[in-house]
Amino acid sequence: MPAVKLYVGNLNYRTTEDKLKELFAQYGEVNSANILQGRGFGFVEMANPEGAGEAKAKLNGTEFDGRRIIVNDARPRTERQGFERRERKDFGRF
């Protein structure tokens, strides 16, 4: 079975990856837990879809480490649009 990655938002900035992993381990095997420090969110990779679905259903909107967390399926990264590097033009400045 393929692993499932979950997005976890609205994390307390003091939450550790170990605490996050422990929270999700109640619902099945956790392959990894990563928090983007200073951003207030992270990702948890669960070993199977059943555990991930149960974790998402039971943990979304619950309080963890003093904050009401958001748990959703992680979306794949997409190319940023509208941020193409434009050629700089010389406007006659010396």
The CATH number for 37's domain is: 3.30.70.330
**Does some domain include residue 32?**
yes
Domain that holds residue 14: 4-73
What is the number of domains present in the chain? 1
Please, which residues bridge with residue 70 across strands? 9
Q: pTM above 0.85?
A: no
Better pLDDT: 78 or 28: 28
DSSP letter at 36?
E
**Does some domain include residue 67?**
yes
Radius of gyration of the chain (CA): 18
* Contact predicate 49/57, CB 8 Å: no
Instruction: State residue 85's pLDDT score.
Output: 53
pLDDT band for position 9 (cuts 50, 70, 90): very high
**Does some domain include residue 89?**
no
pLDDT band for position 59 (cuts 50, 70, 90): very high
Better pLDDT: 77 or 48: 48
pLDDT tens digits, one per residue of 68-92 = 999 999 998 775 555 555 555 556 6
Please give the distance of CA 72 from its chain centroid, rounded to a whole number: 8
Determine the Cα–Cα distance for residues 36 and 44; give it in Å rounded to an integer.
12
